[in-house]
C-alpha cells in the first residue's frame, strides 16, 4: 500500500519536473532546462553566455573549421599554416564549449531528479555558495590550464597535424598552399631508400645511446654510492662533494668544454694525452662516427652519474643496519647482502626517477647537438653520424626546412615516449590518493 502511494506521488511530481524534458530543453538551448527547473537566474545566465559565445566566436570558428578542412584554396592569398593554427584553436575552443554544454545538460537532468525527490531548490545565496565550492578547484587550475593548452597542448597538436601535410621548403605559404597528404610522409620514411637508411641508422643509434649511456650513468652512480657508504671510508663529506661536482657545473658549459678538449687538431686530449703517450696524429674524435659515439657515451656518463649517485646516497643512508646484521647472522656473503638487501631497496625507492633518466636521454638534444652538431656527416643519409631522433628533427626543421617530415618523426618519438609513459603509469600509485572534497 505505501509503495503504491509513493509511486503515485512520484508520477505527480514527474508531471512537475520531468528529467527528460529538462534534458531535451537544455539540449535545444543551454539554460532552458534550468528555467524549466525554476532556477531562473542560472538559466538566464546560461542563455546569455551561450548567445554571447556564439556571437563572439562564430566567424572565427567558421574560418578555423573551413581552414583546417581545406588549408586554403587560393595560393598567395590563403596562408595555409595560419589557417591550420586557427583550425586547431577552433577545435580546442569547441572541445571546451562541448564540455560545458554536456555539463549544462547533465545539470538540468540531475536538478529535475533532485526536485522530484522532494529536494527544495536552494536559495540564490546558497546556490552561489555551492557554486563557489564546486568551482574552486576549477578557478585555481584555470590559469595553469590555459597556459598549458597554449604552450604545450596546442603546439603538440600542431606538430601532429603537420605530420600529415606536405609543408616544406617548396610548399611554403604564402607563395604556395600546403595540402593534406595523409600518411605519405610515413610511407616515404619506410620506402624511399635515403629516408629509410637514415631512419634505421638514426633510430638504432638512439636506442643504443639511450640504453648504454643511461645504464652507465646508473651503474657508475650506484657503485660510487655503495663505495662511499662503506663504513671504513673516511672524509665522506669531501668525497661526496667532489663526486657531485659535475652535476653542479652547468651542463651546456661542460659539453662545450669537452667539445673543445676532444677537438681533433688542437684539443687537449689529442695534444696532451694521446700523442705524447701513444704517438701518431691523435684519434679522430670528431670526424669518425664510432669515436664520436664512444666519447658521447663517456661524456654523458660524466654528466649524468652525479644525480644518480646523490639519489642513491640518500636512499642508502636510510637502509636499516639491522637488516645487514640479521643477514650476517645468517652467514650471508657480501654479494648476497648487496643483491638481496641493498639493490632491491635502492631500486624500488628510485625507479620512477630512473625511468625519467632514460626518457631524458632518449631526447637528450643538448649533448648531441652541442658536442658535434650530430656530426660527423655520413654518406648516403641526411642526418649526421651521431644524430639521435630529436636532433635530426631539429636539423630537418631549421636546416632544411622539411617541416612535415620533422613532424612525422616527432610523432614517432611521441609514440615511443608513450611506451615509457605506460611503464610509469604502472609504477605510480598517486591515483589511489583521492581528493576528499
Partner 1 sequence: MSPKLRSALELTGIYAIFAFMTVIILYPIVWAIGMSLNPGQSLYSSSIIPENWSLEHYKWLFTDPRSNYVTWYKNSMIVSGCAALFSVIITSVVAFSFSRYKFAGRTSALYTFLILQMFPVMMAMVALYIFLHLVGLLDSLTGLILIYVGSQIPFNAWLVKGYLDTIPRELDEAARIDGAGHFTVFWRIVLPLAKPILAVVALFNFMTPLFDFILPSIVLNSPENYTIALGLFNFINDQFSNNFTRFTAGAILIAIPVAVVYLFLQRYLISGLTAGGTKG
Restricted to residues 99-118, the positions that interact with partner 1 (CB under 8 A) are 103
Site for partner 1 in 143-172 (CB under 8 A): 143-145, 147-148, 150-156, 158-159, 162
Nearer to partner 1 (CB atom), residue 36 or residue 312? 312
Residue 285 makes contact with partner 1 by CB under 8 A: no
Query: Which residues lie below 8 Å from residue 348, measured CB to CB, with a gap of 6+?
Result: none
Q: Kindly state the number of chain residues that form the binding site for partner 1, as judged by CB under 8 A.
A: 100
Tell the smallest beta-carbon distance from residue 70 to partner 1 (Å). 19
Which one of 14-22, 58-66, 70-78, 236-244 is the stretch in contact with partner 1 (CB under 8 A)? 236-244
Tell me if residue 377 falls in helix, strand or coil. Answer: strand
Peptide bond into 102 cis (omega under 30): no
**Sign of the CA dihedral running 172, 174, 177, 179:** positive
Residue 335 makes contact with partner 1 by CB under 8 A: no
- Based on the number of CB atoms within 10 Å of its own CB, is 414 exposed (0-12), middle (13-18) or buried (19 or more)? middle
Residue of 96, 136, 170, 183 that binds partner 1 (CB under 8 A): 136
Write the interaction track for partner 1 spanning residues 78-97; mark x where CB under 8 A is met and - where it is not.
Answer: ---xx--x------------
Nearer to partner 1 (CB atom), residue 35 or residue 217? 217
* Helical pair 40-70 and 80-116, crossing angle rounded to 10 deg: 150
Tell the smallest beta-carbon distance from residue 312 to partner 1 (Å). 10
Query: Which residues lie below 8 Å from residue 224, measured CB to CB, with a gap of 6+?
Result: 243, 305, 309
Nearer to partner 1 (CB atom), residue 21 or residue 275? 275
Nearer to partner 1 (CB atom), residue 18 or residue 254? 254
Tell the smallest beta-carbon distance from residue 146 to partner 1 (Å). 9
Residue 286 makes contact with partner 1 by CB under 8 A: no
Tell the smallest beta-carbon distance from residue 57 to partner 1 (Å). 17
In 3D space, the residue among 326, 308, 321, 319 whose CA is nearest the CA of residue 345 turns out to be: 319
Site for partner 1 in 19-78 (CB under 8 A): none
Long-range contact list for 165-168, CB < 8 A, 24+ apart? 165/71, 165/80, 165/84, 165/404, 165/407, 166/404, 167/80, 167/81, 167/403, 167/404, 167/407, 168/401, 168/402, 168/403, 168/404, 168/405
Cβ-contact 168, 403 below 8 angstroms: yes
Tell the smallest beta-carbon distance from residue 147 to partner 1 (Å). 4
Residue 420 makes contact with partner 1 by CB under 8 A: yes
Nearer to partner 1 (CB atom), residue 344 or residue 352? 352
Which one of 12-20, 32-40, 59-67, 128-136 is the stretch in contact with partner 1 (CB under 8 A)? 128-136
In 3D space, the residue among 138, 185, 205 whose CA is nearest the CA of residue 361 turns out to be: 205
In 3D space, the residue among 294, 286, 284, 283 whose CA is nearest the CA of residue 212 turns out to be: 294
Tell the smallest beta-carbon distance from residue 212 to partner 1 (Å). 18
110's grid cell: 540531475
Residue 131 makes contact with partner 1 by CB under 8 A: no
**CA 351 to centroid of chain Cα atoms:** 18
Cβ-contact 306, 300 below 8 angstroms: no
Residue of 75, 182, 344, 352 that binds partner 1 (CB under 8 A): 352
Site for partner 1 in 366-395 (CB under 8 A): 366, 369-370, 390, 393-394
Which one of 117-125, 191-199, 264-272, 374-382 is the stretch in contact with partner 1 (CB under 8 A)? 264-272
Amino acid at each position: 500500500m505505501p509503495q503504491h502511494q509513493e509511486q503515485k506521488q512520484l508520477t505527480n511530481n514527474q508531471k512537475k519536473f520531468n528529467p527528460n524534458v529538462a534534458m531535451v530543453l537544455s539540449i535545444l538551448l543551454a539554460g532552458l532546462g534550468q528555467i524549466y527547473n525554476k532556477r531562473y537566474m542560472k538559466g538566464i545566465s546560461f542563455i546569455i553566455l551561450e548567445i554571447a559565445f556564439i556571437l563572439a566566436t562564430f566567424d572565427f570558428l567558421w574560418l578555423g573549421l573551413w581552414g583546417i578542412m581545406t588549408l586554403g584554396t587560393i595560393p598567395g592569398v590563403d596562408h595555409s599554416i595560419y589557417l591550420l593554427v586557427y583550425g586547431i584553436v577552433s577545435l580546442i575552443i569547441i572541445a571546451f564549449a562541448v564540455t560545458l554544454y554536456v555539463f549544462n545538460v547533465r545539470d538540468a537532468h540531475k536538478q529535475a531528479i533532485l526536485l522530484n525527490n522532494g529536494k527544495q531548490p536552494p536559495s540564490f545565496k546558497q546556490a552561489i555558495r555551492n557554486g563557489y565550492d564546486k568551482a574552486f578547484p576549477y578557478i585555481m587550475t584555470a590559469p595553469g590550464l590555459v597556459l598549458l593548452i597554449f604552450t604545450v597542448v596546442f603546439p603538440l597538436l600542431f606538430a601532429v597535424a603537420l605530420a600529415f601535410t606536405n609543408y616544406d621548403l617548396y610548399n611554403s605559404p604564402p607563395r604556395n598552399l600546403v595540402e593534406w597528404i595523409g600518411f605519405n610522409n610515413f610511407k616515404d620514411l619506410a620506402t624511399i631508400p635515403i629516408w629509410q637508411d637514415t631512419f634505421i641508422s638514426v633510430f638504432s643509434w638512439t636506442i643504443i645511446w639511450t640504453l648504454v649511456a643511461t645504464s652507465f650513468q646508473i651503474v657508475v652512480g650506484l657503485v660510487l654510492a655503495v663505495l662511499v657508504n662503506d663504513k671504513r671510508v673516511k672524509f665522506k663529506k669531501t668525497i661526496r662533494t667532489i663526486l657531485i661536482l659535475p652535476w653542479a657545473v652547468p651542463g651546456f658549459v661542460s659539453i662545450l668544454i669537452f667539445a673543445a678538449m676532444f677537438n681533433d687538431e688542437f684539443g687537449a686530449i689529442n695534444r696532451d694525452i694521446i700523442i705524447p703517450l701513444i704517438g701518431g696524429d691523435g684519434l679522430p674524435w670528431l670526424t669518425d662516427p664510432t669515436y664520436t659515439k664512444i666519447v658521447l657515451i663517456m661524456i654523458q656518463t660524466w654528466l649524468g652519474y652525479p644525480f644518480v649517485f646523490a639519489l642513491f646516497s640518500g636512499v642508502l643512508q636510510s637502509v636499516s643496519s639491522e637488516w645487514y646484521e640479521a643477514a650476517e647472522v645468517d652467514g650471508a656473503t657480501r654479494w648476497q647482502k648487496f643483491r638481496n638487501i641493498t639493490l632491491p631497496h635502492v631500486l624500488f625507492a628510485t625507479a620512477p626517477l630512473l625511468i625519467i633518466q632514460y626518457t631524458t636521454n632518449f631526447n637528450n638534444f643538448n649533448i648531441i647537438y652541442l658536442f658535434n652538431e650530430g656530426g660527423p656527416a655520413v654518406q648516403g643519409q641526411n642526418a649526421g653520424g651521431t644524430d639521435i631522433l630529436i636532433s635530426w628533427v631539429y636539423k630537418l626543421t631549421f636546416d632544411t626546412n622539411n617541416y612535415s617530415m620533422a613532424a612525422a618523426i616527432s610523432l614517432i618519438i611521441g609514440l615511443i615516449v608513450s611506451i615509457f609513459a605506460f611503464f610509469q603509469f604502472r609504477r605510480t600509485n598517486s591515483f589511489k590518493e583521492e581528493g576528499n572534497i
